[in-house]
């Protein structure tokens, strides 16, 4: 390929990688992203001599000024942000430079702009897409910067053509820029290998650079997912809308002893509601319900946990950025553990809790969030719950018995009918759940407009999704004096075989009921027909690929985006442990200083010998042989000429004679020019075996003496 | 005895590293990114920082690879004259077996200091050699010792200029400047302004044609001209005896000589060199005599080189120093029988006297 073409291509790829690093964040205006995406390919052919760029210079300058004013104006708005306004300006400048490429200076400016875009991407885009863009950028930047350097060197004053006494003249740069001999496949492969080393070096520095931050300006952002069903008010029917959304909400890692079958049956508790309105909304009634949740060293006792609760499952949860601050926990959370802050000295995120035993972070989480939960998964034995006598709940639970005004009387009637023969809260709960599980599960709801959605579900449609089932159970049990509350969270998820974790998606959102029992508190009941709420596990190649992609994404968040001092210390400990394990495996002798030294010397020696062997082996390759031949050729040819001259004068080198023996023989019999032959032999040996090839001057001097061979003075 | 050159060589750093303008900016930005990463705790900034530091390290390794296993040779032209530009040929051989060397700059080290001229090699493939040349002018005659080469590269990212010195000792002798003689003194003069009196001889350069006279050697007949003129014509040649020149250069200067006197001597030396070149080119046998120095008479280009070399290295002598005795190497040579040209800084031998430009 032509040099200029390769350079242009590498520069474009570098610019595109940097632009994608910010554009894929979703933070830029779509119009801007599409505009730049269309203009970049158009600019490819926009260059001299095809286009007279200077004719449009004024327009580009005016455009830049206008863009700058817009950015200033945008930034001065109350909701304006320097970062997003700056990125808008950078995107324009990038396009401007691509359309105005003339000299190497323009290319340099292009690289600076693309670098700034890459840096902006670190704040705007923490998705896996940034990792891909970064990796591409490293490769293309290595190409582009190397080629840029060569191009500029060509354009500067080095390529001079001297001829005799005439004035030196510059060789036409265009001709060299169009040369196909400077860069080719091997060059690109070589620079790609270099970029790999750069990439690995970047990773090494990333992991080893001490995370000792001050954290003055912690300003990371990630575009949070909109999560329905986890706000202050939830309307019936919301879950139906998200049942097809495959976006991952959280990834959960469990101890290796847990089986995927058990883990995919877990309910992840999120928010709970105490009040139901007949119009189909679940609400929180307590205005003063939010209070701080005390933590000691990042560990907090879950608000709903009883002293008797024993945690039997530990889950490490990686939450994606959400528009909700709620923290989820499997089954009945007992303990929440918060990670240390990414920036030391910043302090852990404070937690809040509510009367409904929800757990929230006190601050917004623009980035993803990692924490651990220990939960009691095992429910109290049914026999124990069934044996509890029916007694009036304490007055503090009155709100969990409240029925909405305007609730259809037929609902209460239905509750009484169903539980007619049930004794005790547990029996009532089981009866109601069994009754509801006869209903059909569907997300395709055709509700009557303006009517009571619950009555519509129970008496007309007899089909609905989890929210309807949970609401129906909660209201029916309340109608017969059993305290209940509705819980929203997630159920199930997709087990990722590659990453060995559970990926919970938006479509796994679920609702169920908690029933209060004396001494046991709130116990979970899920009235949705078994299996109905679970999305069918995807299969096939596409699913596998998606799993791989998701596990890479988790690794990206876990080990790169959320990497902190603790992980760094853990990494150091792992390395230390590994070292210690190796030391244990070494024989006792090797641990003595003298023997250790001996082992070290042996290791060094083996490395040297291996290197030598490799080099020797490397010398046997055809490319290397050719290179050696090329280096030695002038001297070898000259020596052949010497032999021919000698032969012409009657001195023929015997087949069994070494060059040195031959030269000495000539000197012994005072052969004319024997000294020249001796000199040539010495240079020949030096070239062949000494690795010191004579230069042109030395060869020239010897060549001038050749006429003396065989000629008597 | 302290060998300063050797000590200097020991103390010399194996590599020199100098920031380029872009390199300075790059490092400043790297530091800025590092501070930003520490401040914000943004891990992706650490990643960018890692990339930048790795680029710096890769730059160091690649530039080292580019500079290693290079052999350099210089080939000056056969004759260098002060004040006249010349082309110094530089050959670079890449003795690496697999890797090419990119973007190599070569500077010749005159003494220990690089000349202001550079040679640039864009790409030298493995096992190949390339030659280029730089143009330079030495202002004064004399001996110029070269100690080696300074090889440098900004490859691959132009962040730094890394250079190393390669020993390649050598020297060039810069001959005195040559004047273009518009009115060269013809043979036979003894002082400036004298008319030439060439003698006719049997051998030598062409002198003229004349009609055949009885007694002339028939071998001198010019048959073509005889046929044209219709009568026998013979060619006359200059006598070899009149083709012998001795240049007597007075290189004496008093101890307290002024700068102008030194310049005058330089002009005299240049004039002597110009005359030597003038006569040798025309086949004259030329000898040089100066105070403390002499070159035996001789003919041909190698002899001219001998004279020019002697003049190039000629030093000023005290007025008391006698002229060197005439060299006796040329068997029949008798300085008294040859034509003598006297050249002195303050005498008639000023270049203008011979129409020198």
Which residues of chain B neighbour A176 with C-beta distances below 8 Å?
122
Q: Which H or E run contains A431?
A: helix A424-436
Contact B76, B88 (CB under 8 A): yes
Let me know whether A581 and A683 are in one domain.
Answer: no
The whole-number pLDDT of residue B21 equals 92
**Alpha-carbon distance A318 to nearest alpha carbon in chain B (angstroms):** 17
Which of A577, A611, A645 lies at the terminal end of a domain, its last residue? Answer: A611
Cα-Cα-Cα-Cα dihedral of A692, A698, A699, A703, to 10°?
A: -150
* Domain-embedded: residue A678: yes
Let me know whether A581 and A692 are in one domain.
Answer: no
**Alpha-carbon distance A652 to nearest alpha carbon in chain B (angstroms):** 32
The whole-number pLDDT of residue B348 equals 39
Q: Which residues pair with A322 in a beta bridge?
A: A225
The whole-number pLDDT of residue A164 equals 52
Instruction: Measure CB to CB from residue B44 to each of A130, A213, A219 and give the nearest one.
Output: A130
From residue B72, give the alpha-carbon distance in Å to each of A125, A206, A395, B354: 51, 41, 99, 44
The whole-number pLDDT of residue A169 equals 58
Count of domains in chain A?
3
Q: Which pair of tokens denotes residue A228?
A: 């329905």
Let me know whether A607 and A639 are in one domain.
Answer: no
Chains A–B, number of C-beta pairs less than 8 Å apart: 189
Could you tell me where in chain B the CATH 2.60.40.150 domains are found?
A: 14-175
* Domain-embedded: residue A143: yes
Write out the residue range of the structural domain in which residue A140 sits.
3-162+169-208
The whole-number pLDDT of residue B151 equals 94
Contact A245, A510 (CB under 8 A): no
Task: Tell me whether residues B50 and A202 touch, CB distance under 8 A.
Answer: yes
Task: Tell me whether residues B156 and A194 touch, CB distance under 8 A.
Answer: yes
Task: Tell me whether residues A145 and B157 touch, CB distance under 8 A.
Answer: yes
ipTM > 0.90 (yes/no): no
From residue B28, give the alpha-carbon distance in Å to each of A114, A236, A375, B32, B49: 17, 57, 50, 6, 12
Which residues of chain B neighbour A564 with C-beta distances below 8 Å?
41
CATH class of B14-175: mainly beta
Let me know whether A104 and A190 are in one domain.
Answer: yes
Mutate to test the interface with A, among B39, B44, B108 (most CBs of A within 10 A): B44
* Domain-embedded: residue A337: no
CA nearest B159: which of B67, B68, B66, B57?
B57
Question: Using one digit for the tens of pLDDT, what is the confidence trace for A118-148?
Answer: 999 998 888 889 999 999 999 999 999 999 9
Let me know whether A139 and A9 are in one domain.
Answer: yes
Give chain A's mean pLDDT. Answer: 83
Let me know whether A126 and A188 are in one domain.
Answer: yes
**Alpha-carbon distance B307 to nearest alpha carbon in chain A (angstroms):** 22
Neighbours of B11 (CB within 10 A): 7
The whole-number pLDDT of residue A586 equals 63
Cα-Cα-Cα-Cα dihedral of A177, A181, A185, A191, to 10°?
A: -60
**Alpha-carbon distance B85 to nearest alpha carbon in chain A (angstroms):** 7
Which residues of chain A neighbour B33 with C-beta distances below 8 Å?
119
- Provide the CB-side half-sphere exposure for A281 (13 A, CA): 10
**Alpha-carbon distance A197 to nearest alpha carbon in chain B (angstroms):** 8
* Domain-embedded: residue A23: yes
**Alpha-carbon distance A688 to nearest alpha carbon in chain B (angstroms):** 13
Which residues of chain B neighbour A142 with C-beta distances below 8 Å?
55, 58, 156
Q: State which residue of chain A sits closest to B56, comparing Cα positions.
A: A198
Which residues of chain A neighbour B49 with C-beta distances below 8 Å?
205-206, 209
Spans of chain A, pLDDT less than 70: 157-172, 212-232, 237-244, 286-289, 341-346, 366-367, 445-450, 531-539, 583-591, 615-621, 713
Taking the C-alpha atoms of residue B146 and residue B72, their distance in angstroms, rounded to an integer, is 13
Contact B250, B264 (CB under 8 A): no
* Domain-embedded: residue A150: yes
Instruction: Measure CB to CB from residue A149 to each of B38, B46, B156 and give the nearest one.
Output: B156
Taking the C-alpha atoms of residue A649 and residue B45, their distance in angstroms, rounded to an integer, is 77
Asked if B21 is an interface residue toward chain A (Cβ–Cβ < 8 A), one would say no
Asked if B161 is an interface residue toward chain A (Cβ–Cβ < 8 A), one would say no
Task: Tell me whether residues A626 and B135 touch, CB distance under 8 A.
Answer: no
Task: Tell me whether residues B40 and A627 touch, CB distance under 8 A.
Answer: no
The whole-number pLDDT of residue A125 equals 87
Which residues of chain A neighbour B158 with C-beta distances below 8 Å?
145, 148-149, 152
Task: Tell me whether residues B154 and A153 touch, CB distance under 8 A.
Answer: yes
Let me know whether A35 and A91 are in one domain.
Answer: yes
* Domain-embedded: residue A507: no
Report the predicted TM-score, pTM, of the whole model to 2 decimal places.
0.73
Mutate to test the interface with A, among B27, B40, B155, B168 (most CBs of A within 10 A): B40
Let me know whether A68 and A200 are in one domain.
Answer: yes
Taking the C-alpha atoms of residue B289 and residue B325, their distance in angstroms, rounded to an integer, is 8
Which residues of chain B neighbour A566 with C-beta distances below 8 Å?
none
Mutate to test the interface with A, among B50, B104, B161 (most CBs of A within 10 A): B50
Let me know whether A95 and A119 are in one domain.
Answer: yes
Contact A362, A348 (CB under 8 A): no
| Mean pLDDT for back-to-back runs of 10 residues, chain B (357 residues) | 68 83 94 90 90 94 92 88 90 87 91 83 88 89 92 92 90 91 56 42 62 76 85 71 77 83 88 89 86 86 90 89 66 52 57 43
Task: Tell me whether residues A206 and B43 touch, CB distance under 8 A.
Answer: yes
Instruction: Measure CB to CB from residue B48 to each of A118, A200, A215 and give the nearest one.
Output: A118
The whole-number pLDDT of residue A684 equals 92
């Amino acid at each position: 390929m032509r040099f200029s073409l390769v350079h242009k291509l590498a520069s474009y790829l570098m610019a595109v990688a940097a632009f994608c690093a910010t554009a894929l964040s979703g933070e830029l205006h779509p119009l801007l992203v599409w505009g730049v995406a269309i203009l970049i390919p158009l600019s490819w052919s926009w260059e001299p001599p095809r286009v007279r760029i200077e004719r449009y210079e004024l327009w580009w300058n005016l455009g830049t000024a206008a863009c700058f004013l817009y950015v200033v104006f945008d930034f001065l708005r109350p909701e304006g942000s320097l970062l997003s306004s700056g990125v808008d300006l950078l995107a324009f400048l990038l396009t401007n430079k691509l359309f105005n490429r003339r000299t190497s200076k323009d290319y340099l400016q292009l690289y600076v702009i693309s670098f700034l875009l890459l840096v902006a991407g670190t704040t705007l885009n923490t998705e896996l897409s940034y990792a891909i863009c970064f990796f591409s950028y490293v490769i293309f930047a290595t190409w582009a910067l190397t080629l840029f350097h060569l191009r500029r060197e060509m354009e500067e004053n080095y390529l001079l053509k001297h001829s005799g006494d005439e004035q030196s003249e510059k060789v036409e740069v265009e001709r060299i820029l169009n040369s196909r001999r400077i860069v080719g496949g091997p060059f690109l492969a070589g620079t790609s290998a270099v970029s790999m080393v750069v990439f690995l070096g970047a990773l090494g520095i990333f992991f080893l650079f001490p995370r000792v931050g001050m954290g003055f300006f912690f300003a990371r952002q990630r575009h949070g997912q909109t999560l329905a069903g986890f706000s202050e008010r939830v309307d019936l029917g919301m879950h139906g809308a998200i049942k097809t959304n495959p976006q991952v909400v959280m990834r959960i890692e469990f101890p290796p002893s847990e089986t995927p079958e058990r883990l995919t049956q877990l309910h992840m508790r999120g928010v709970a509601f105490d009040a139901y309105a007949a119009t189909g909304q679940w609400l929180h009634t307590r205005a003063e319900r939010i209070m701080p949740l005390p933590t000691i060293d990042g560990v907090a006792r879950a608000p709903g946990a009883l002293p008797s609760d024993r945690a039997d499952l530990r889950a490490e949860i990686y939450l994606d950025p959400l528009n909700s601050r709620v923290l989820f926990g499997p089954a009945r959370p007992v303990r929440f553990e918060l990670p240390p802050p990414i920036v030391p000295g910043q302090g852990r995120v404070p937690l809040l809790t509510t009367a409904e035993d929800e757990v929230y972070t006190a601050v917004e989480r623009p980035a993803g969030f990692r924490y651990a939960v220990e939960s009691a998964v095992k429910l109290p034995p049914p026999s124990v719950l069934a044996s509890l006598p029916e007694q009036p709940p304490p007055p503090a639970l009155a709100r969990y018995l409240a029925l909405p005004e305007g609730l259809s009387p037929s609902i209460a009637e239905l509750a009484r009918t169903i539980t007619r023969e049930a004794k005790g809260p547990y029996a009532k709960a089981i009866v109601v759940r069994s009754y509801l599980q006869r209903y059909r599960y569907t997300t395709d709801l055709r509700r009557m407009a303006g009517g009571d959605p619950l009555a519509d579900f129970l008496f007309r449609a007899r089909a609905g999704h989890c929210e309807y089932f949970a609401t129906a159970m909660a209201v029916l049990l309340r109608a017969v004096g059993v305290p209940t509350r509705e819980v929203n969270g997630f159920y199930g998820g997709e087990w990722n075989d590659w990453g060995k974790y559970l990926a919970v998606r938006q479509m796994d959102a679920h609702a169920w009921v908690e029933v209060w029992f004396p001494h046991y508190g709130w116990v979970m009941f899920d009235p949705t027909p078994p299996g109905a709420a679970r999305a069918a596990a995807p299969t096939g190649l596409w699913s596998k690929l998606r799993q791989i992609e998701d596990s890479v994404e988790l690794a990206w968040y876990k080990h790169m985006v959320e990497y902190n001092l603790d992980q760094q210390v853990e990494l150091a400990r792992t390395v230390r442990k590994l070292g210690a394990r190796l030391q244990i495996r070494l024989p006792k002798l090797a641990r003595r200083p003298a023997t250790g030294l001996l082992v070290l010397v042996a290791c060094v020696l083996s490395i040297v010998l291996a290197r030598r062997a490799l080099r020797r082996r490397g010398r046997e390759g055809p490319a290397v042989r050719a290179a050696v031949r090329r280096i030695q050729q002038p001297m070898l040819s000259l020596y052949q000429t010497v032999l021919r001259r000698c032969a012409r004068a009657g001195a023929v080198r015997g087949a069994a004679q070494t060059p040195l023996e031959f030269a000495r023989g000539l000197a012994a019999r005072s052969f004319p020019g024997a000294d020249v032959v001796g000199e040539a032999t010495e240079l020949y040996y030096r070239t062949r075996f000494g690795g010191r090839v004579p230069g042109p001057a030395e060869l020239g001097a010897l060549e001038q003496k050749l006429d003396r061979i065989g000629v008597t003075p | 005895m302290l060998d300063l050159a050797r000590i200097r060589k020991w103390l010399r750093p194996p590599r020199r590293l100098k920031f380029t303008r872009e390199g300075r900016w790059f490092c400043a930005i790297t530091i800025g990114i590092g501070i930003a990463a520490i401040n914000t705790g943004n891990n992706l900034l650490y990643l960018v920082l890692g990339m930048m530091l790795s680029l710096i390290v890769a730059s160091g390794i690649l530039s080292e690879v580019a500079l290693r296993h290079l052999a350099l040779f210089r080939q000056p032209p056969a004759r260098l004259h002060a004040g006249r530009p010349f082309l110094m040929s530089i050959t670079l051989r890449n003795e690496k077996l697999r890797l090419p060397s990119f973007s190599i700059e070569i500077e010749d080290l005159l003494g220990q200091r690089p000349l202001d001229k550079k040679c640039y090699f864009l790409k030298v493939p493995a096992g190949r050699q390339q030659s280029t040349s730089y143009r330079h002018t030495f202002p004064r005659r004399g001996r110029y010792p070269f100690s080696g080469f300074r090889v440098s590269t900004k490859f691959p990212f132009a962040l730094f200029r890394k250079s190393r010195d390669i020993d390649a000792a050598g020297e060039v002798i810069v001959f005195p400047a040559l004047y273009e003689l518009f009115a060269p003194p013809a043979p036979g003069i003894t002082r400036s302004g004298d008319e030439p009196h060439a003698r006719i001889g049997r051998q030598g350069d062409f002198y003229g044609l004349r009609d055949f006279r009885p007694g002339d050697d028939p071998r001198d007949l010019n048959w073509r001209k005889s046929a044209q003129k219709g009568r026998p014509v013979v060619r006359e040649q200059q006598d070899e005896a009149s083709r012998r020149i001795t240049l007597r250069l007075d290189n004496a200067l008093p101890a307290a000589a002024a700068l102008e006197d030194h310049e005058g001597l330089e002009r005299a030396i240049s004039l002597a060199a110009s005359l030597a070149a003038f006569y040798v080119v025309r086949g004259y046998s030329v000898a040089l005599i100066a105070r403390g120095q002499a070159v035996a008479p001789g003919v041909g280009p190698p002899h001219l080189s001998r004279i020019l070399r002697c003049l190039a290295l000629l030093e000023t002598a005290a007025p008391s120093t006698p002229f060197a005795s005439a060299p006796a190497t040329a068997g029949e040579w008798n300085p008294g029988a040859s034509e003598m040209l006297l050249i002195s800084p303050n005498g008639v031998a000023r270049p203008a006297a011979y129409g020198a430009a």
